[in-house]
């Protein structure tokens, strides 16, 4: 069996597919990943031994500018990604038995699968975009929702915004390959039963949405920590990790200074992750160690707390480690992960202004005990579950 996995998004969208691809390989199947051409992602997929088909523009070129992308950029990017999917996936899916799509609204992926007559699965790493009577849709570019409307109306407005972003391009490309138009791009992309690739402890499926929950897709990482980092960890009490992944610099103004000072206020040392914001130490003090790409599965259990942006991947990795978290959310699903770790009692949500106080709470012994207990409940085999579901058809 051969499976095409595709996404366009940050590392938190790409690494789970590498985990699924590795699981498919362990089960005797072949997998290829079509993902953005960022160097980070190529390196990640090469480490996992997964063939990488470049898809669309780099993510950094879109998100790492001097200011956040606005509606105009979104309305330019959406049709460009649709065109890239029709072109790239149509070629990459030849000889495949299934296509799994994730990431930023993968309009164009199911169309290719339908044209080729192969199985299609939409997988999501959180429930933010799934229409439910329990929650409102997240923000999308386009006409704002009527704040006074009921949830059903808001979800209808959400579908209208997706159509405005993607509908014209989707139906133009569908016509070119002999497919009829679709009226509701969002629901067509989701299909009859999306997969929820998140752990049920951290992200239980809504009771009114038909999803198949597999658990989170982890990529096993056996890389040793660098010698100098291990020496730093061994030379004193566990430090606090501070990192914001692929969040761009415009959301991270002064965040390195804020983070380091908040940690120092608790009498702790700091492991600072550069990330896409290029965070650096604020002085030459020996209590701050700056890291680039590192094995989080090896590092996170060794720190006193994990300060991060609240992406799905980092939240799962932190929860699994048993170390307390402080989430400083910025966009999209991040506030919901912050709310969940607070509800579970395994961490605290903060703003840059409240980070010092939040960290003092996260470092309390009882929160560590709770984090370790919840960490033991996080299932590590979600990728294997998903791989076997694909193989079973």
pLDDT of residue 253: 60
Is 50 exceeded by the pLDDT of residue 31?
Answer: yes
Highest mean pLDDT out of 16-30, 61-75, 247-261: 16-30
Please report the pLDDT score of residue 122 as a whole number: 98
Per residue in 223-265, pLDDT (tens digit) is 999 999 999 999 999 999 999 988 765 455 688 999 999 999 9
Query: Residue 53: pLDDT above 60?
Result: yes
Which residues lie closer than 8 Å to 51 by C-beta, 6 or more apart? 32, 33, 45
Residue 180 burial (CB count, 10 A): 7
Percentage of the chain modeled with pLDDT above 90: 88
CA distance 158 to 144: 9
Residue 305 has pLDDT above 50, yes or no: yes
What pLDDT is stored for residue 68 in this prediction?
67
pLDDT in the model for residue 69: 76
Which of 248, 288, 246, 295 is closest to 271 using CA atoms? 288
pLDDT score of 145:
64
Strand partners, 305: 240
How far is the C-alpha of 72 from the C-alpha of 184, rounded, in Å? 22
pLDDT at 36 over 50: yes
Tokens (6 digits) for 146: 């009527």
Beta strands 98-101 and 52-54, pairing class: unpaired
C-alpha 163/C-alpha 180 separation (Å) is: 15
Calculate mean pLDDT across residues 261-286.
95
CB-count exposure of residue 64 (10 Å: 0-12, 13-18, 19+): middle
Statement: residue 174 has pLDDT above 50: yes
347 membership: H or E segment, kind and range: strand 347-349
pLDDT at residue 10, as a whole number: 92
Q: Mean pLDDT throughout 150-157?
A: 93
The pLDDT value given to residue 139: 85
- Cα 215 to Cα 251, 367, 381: the distances in Å are 30, 24, 7
pLDDT at 140: 86
Model confidence at 138, pLDDT cuts 50, 70, 90, reads confident
Q: Which helix (H) or strand (E) holds 99?
A: strand 98-101
- Residue 250 has a pLDDT of 44
pLDDT for position 251: 53
Q: Is the pLDDT of residue 360 over 90?
A: yes
At residue 114, φ and ψ (nearest 5 deg) are -65, -40
Q: What is the pLDDT of residue 249?
A: 53
Question: What mean pLDDT value characterizes the chain?
Answer: 94
pLDDT band, very low/low/confident/very high, at 63 (cuts 50, 70, 90): confident
State the pLDDT at residue 271. 98
Over residues 339-347, mean pLDDT:
97
Statement: residue 166 has pLDDT above 60: yes
pLDDT at 332: 85
Q: Give me the pLDDT at residue 142, please.
A: 75
pLDDT at 66 over 80: no
CB atoms within 10 A of CB 330: 18
Size (the chain), residues? 393
Strands (E), 116-168: 119-124
Mean of the pLDDT values across residues 17-25? 98
Which of 148-157, 168-177, 380-389 has the least mean pLDDT?
A: 148-157
Residue 65 reports pLDDT greater than 80 = no
Structural domains of the chain ordered from first start: 2-216+380-392 (3.40.50.2000), 227-375 (3.40.50.2000)
Residue 170's Cβ-count burial label (10 Å; 0-12, 13-18, 19+) is buried
End-to-end CA distance of the chain: 10
Distance CA 327, CA 347 (A): 8
Number of H helices, E strands in the chain: 16, 13
**Stretch 328-353: mean pLDDT, rounded?**
94
What six digits make up the tokens of 195? Answer: 């997969």
Give me the long-range contacts of 184-188 (CB less than 8 A, separation at least 24). 184/159, 185/105, 185/107, 185/159, 186/105, 186/129, 186/158, 186/159, 186/162, 187/159, 188/110
Q: Give the three-state DSSP class for 35.
A: strand
DSSP 241: E
């Amino acid at each position: 069996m051969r499976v095409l996995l595709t996404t366009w998004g940050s590392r938190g969208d790409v690494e789970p597919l590498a985990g699924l691809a590795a699981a498919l390989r362990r089960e005797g199947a072949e997998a290829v990943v079509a993902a953005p051409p960022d160097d980070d992602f190529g390196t990640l997929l090469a480490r996992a031994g997964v063939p990488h088909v470049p898809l669309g523009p780099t993510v950094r070129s879109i998100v790492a500018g001097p200011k956040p992308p606005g509606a105009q950029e979104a309305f330019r990017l959406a049709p460009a990604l649709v065109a890239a999917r029709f072109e790239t996936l149509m070629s990459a899916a030849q000889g495949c038995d299934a296509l799994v799509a994730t990431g930023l609204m993968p309009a164009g992926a199911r169309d290719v699968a339908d044209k080729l007559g192969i199985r299609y699965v939409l997988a999501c790493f959180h429930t933010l975009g799934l229409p439910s009577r329990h929650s409102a849709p997240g923000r999308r570019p386009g006409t704002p929702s009527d704040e006074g409307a009921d949830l059903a109306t808001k979800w209808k407005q959400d579908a209208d915004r997706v159509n405005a972003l993607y509908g014209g391009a989707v139906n133009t490309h569908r016509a070119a390959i002999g497919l009829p138009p679709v009226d509701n791009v969002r629901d067509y992309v989701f299909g009859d039963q999306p997969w929820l690739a998140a752990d049920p402890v951290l992200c239980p499926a809504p009771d009114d949405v038909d999803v198949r929950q597999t658990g989170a897709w982890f990529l096993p990482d056996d890389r040793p920590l660098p010698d100098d980092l291990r020496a730093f960890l061994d030379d004193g009490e566990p430090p606090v990790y501070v990192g914001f992944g692929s969040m761009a610099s415009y959301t991270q103004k002064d965040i390195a200074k804020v983070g380091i000072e908040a940690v120092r206020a608790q009498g702790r040392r700091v492991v600072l992750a550069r990330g896409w914001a290029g965070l650096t130490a604020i002085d030459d003090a020996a209590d701050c160690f700056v890291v680039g790409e590192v094995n989080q599965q090896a590092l996170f259990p060794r720190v006193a707390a994990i300060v991060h942006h609240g992406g799905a991947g980092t939240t799962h990795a932190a929860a699994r480690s048993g170390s307390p978290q402080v989430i400083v959310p910025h966009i999209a699903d991040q506030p919901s992960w912050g709310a969940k770790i607070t509800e579970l009692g395994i961490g605290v949500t903060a703003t840059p202004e409240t980070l010092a106080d939040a960290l003092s709470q996260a470092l309390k012994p009882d929160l560590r005990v709770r984090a370790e207990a919840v960490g033991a409940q996080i299932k590590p085999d979600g990728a294997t579950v998903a791989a076997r579901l694909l193989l079973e058809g």
